């Protein structure tokens, strides 16, 4: 093979004449190699080759490549934050769970783009992001944002900026150094059903189509997805034990029945067990009888999901259906501010008030560690300890009086 060389005037590449033999025939052509930039991941030059019958053809093709690279570089310099987030969503979130994709998309659309979307990505600074955080924290219309919501939004922005750094679009991540608002401690007492509210709630669910579901929800502390995804195979009525293994989801990869299926828990061992009170066991036995009657009535229309709480044909009761039913019920008894999740908080406080220690409660709730349970319910535990100490003082005083 013979070859000769010629440098491009701008020093971005070179051209050489090549002669090769294939199947006994000689072929002569020109090959040009052009440098288009540097790979941000490896630091190595990005090079491409073109061929042609004449040097003029090769030079023309090399110039097209160089012009494209230069245009791309210029476009990246002009790219706004909004344009980059659109590209990031389209190309780099396909590996994420649908729920996470929706969370990112909502964060960009509702909070990030309205605030900094018009700023060029290459010009974005930490001060711009910090100003956005402050404005989101102080925002009151259309509603006050929680620190958690702001943290999720800034986290979604951060991963997009990290990818921009990796791709060489920006030299560093301007999110670094920004301060997030301190999370407000949950005031559990505002979300717990008090004794009179509990009585009103239990009275209201009598005869309700979801009576047994609401009762079980209140006295097991299950999450909405967990009670909607609870199966009979995970309920041991003889020993009074409930195993929580799954949660109902509409994520496509877990679909089993129409648009829904069961997703495993995120816990280390994939499940947790809850010892049931006799009252809950009693209610679940009633639910079993109701379930068997539903199955008999549905006949060939029955869908064998094995779900404890289901529609008359065996199909799941969705989290949204549970929410809507719950809200209609609590509005009737003047508790319209209560949420389905407040049943979980109520269960936690009831458990502590009736002697459960924080570690047992943490296990029943499926928290990832006791520290998290303490951060949410620790003040309840402290109050109970103070009340216990007060009772001890009263007892000691009674002994002194007796003597």
CB atoms within 10 A of CB 30: 21
Contact predicate 362/373, CB 8 Å: yes
CATH of domain 81-166: 1.10.150
pLDDT, mean of residues 48-60: 81
Q: From residue 399, how far is each of 254, 392, 403 by CA, in Å?
A: 64, 11, 6
Instruction: Check residue 69 and give its pLDDT.
Output: 64
Matching CATH topology for 3-77 and 188-371?
A: no
Residue 211 has φ and ψ, to the nearest 5°, of -55, -50
Q: Which of 294, 303, 275, 297 is nearest to 363 (CA)?
A: 275
Q: Which CATH superfamily is domain 188-371 in?
A: Intergrase catalytic core (1.10.443.10)
Instruction: Check residue 103 and give its pLDDT.
Output: 93
| pLDDT tens per residue, range 241-251 | 999 999 999 88
Q: 31 versus 154: which is more confidently predicted?
A: 154
User: Coil, helix or strand for 100?
Assistant: helix
Distance from chain centroid for Cα 31:
51
Whole-number average pLDDT of the chain: 85
Task: Kindly tell me if the per-residue pLDDT of 11 is higher than 50.
Answer: no
Which CATH topology does 3-77 take? Double Stranded RNA Binding Domain (3.30.160)
- Domains of the chain, by residue range, sit at 3-77, 81-166, 188-371
Instruction: Check residue 46 and give its pLDDT.
Output: 73
Q: How confident is the model at residue 157 (pLDDT cuts 50, 70, 90)?
A: very high
| pLDDT tens per residue, range 345-392 | 898 888 888 878 788 888 888 887 777 676 667 667 666 667 777 777
Q: Is 11 left (phi over 0), alpha (psi -120 to 50) or beta?
A: left
Taking the C-alpha atoms of residue 338 and residue 167, their distance in angstroms, rounded to an integer, is: 47
Q: Which of 240, 238, 199, 243 is nearest to 218 (CA)?
A: 199
End-to-end CA distance of the chain: 116
Q: Exposed, middle or buried, 186 (CB in 10 Å: 0-12/13-18/19+)?
A: middle
Taking the C-alpha atoms of residue 259 and residue 95, their distance in angstroms, rounded to an integer, is: 20
- Rounded to the nearest 10 degrees, the angle between the axes of helix 358-365 and helix 370-402 is 150
Give the DSSP H or E segment for 86: helix 81-92
Burial 8-21 (b: 16+ CB within 10 A, else e): beeebbebeeeeee
Range with the poorest average pLDDT among 58-62, 102-106, 315-319: 58-62
Whole-prediction pTM: 0.61
């Amino acid at each position: 093979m013979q070859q000769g060389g010629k440098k491009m005037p701008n020093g971005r590449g070179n051209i050489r004449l090549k002669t090769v033999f294939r199947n006994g025939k000689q072929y002569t052509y020109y090959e040009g190699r052009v440098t288009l930039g540097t790979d941000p991941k490896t630091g190595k030059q990005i090079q491409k080759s073109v061929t042609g019958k004449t040097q003029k053809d090769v030079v023309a093709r090399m110039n097209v490549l160089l012009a494209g690279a230069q245009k791309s570089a210029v476009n990246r310099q002009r790219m706004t934050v909004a344009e980059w987030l659109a590209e990031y969503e389209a190309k780099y979130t396909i590996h994420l769970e649908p729920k996470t994709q929706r969370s990112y998309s909502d964060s960009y659309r509702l909070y990030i783009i309205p605030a900094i979307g018009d700023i060029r990505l290459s010009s974005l600074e930490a001060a711009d992001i910090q100003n956005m955080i402050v404005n989101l924290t102080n925002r009151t219309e259309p509603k006050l944002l929680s620190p958690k919501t702001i943290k999720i939004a800034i986290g979604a922005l951060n991963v997009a900026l990290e990818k921009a750094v990796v791709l060489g679009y920006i030299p560093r991540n301007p999110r670094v150094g920004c301060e997030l608002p301190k999370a407000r401690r949950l005031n559990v007492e505002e979300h717990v059903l008090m004794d009179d509210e509990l009585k009103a709630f239990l009275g209201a669910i009598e005869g309700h189509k979801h009576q047994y579901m609401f009762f079980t929800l209140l006295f097991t502390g299950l999450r909405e997805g967990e009670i909607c995804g609870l199966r009979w195979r995970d309920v041991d009525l003889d020993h009074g034990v409930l195993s929580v293994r799954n949660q109902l989801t509409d994520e496509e990869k877990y679909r089993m029945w129409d648009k829904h299926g069961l997703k495993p828990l995120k816990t280390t061992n994939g499940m947790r067990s809850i010892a049931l009170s006799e009252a809950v066991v009693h209610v679940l036995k009633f639910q079993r009888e109701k379930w068997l009657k539903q199955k008999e009535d549905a006949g060939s229309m029955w869908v064998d999901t094995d779900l404890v709480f289901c529609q008359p044909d065996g199909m799941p009761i969705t989290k949204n259906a549970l929410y809507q039913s719950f809200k209609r019920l609590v509005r009737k008894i003047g508790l319209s501010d209560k949420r389905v999740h407040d049943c979980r908080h109520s269960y936690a406080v009831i458990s502590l008030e009736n002697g459960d220690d924080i570690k047992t409660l943490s296990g029943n709730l499926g928290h990832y560690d006791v520290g998290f349970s303490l951060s949410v319910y620790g003040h309840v535990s402290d109050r109970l300890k103070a009340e216990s100490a007060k009772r001890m003082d009263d007892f000691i005083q009674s002994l002194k009086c007796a003597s």
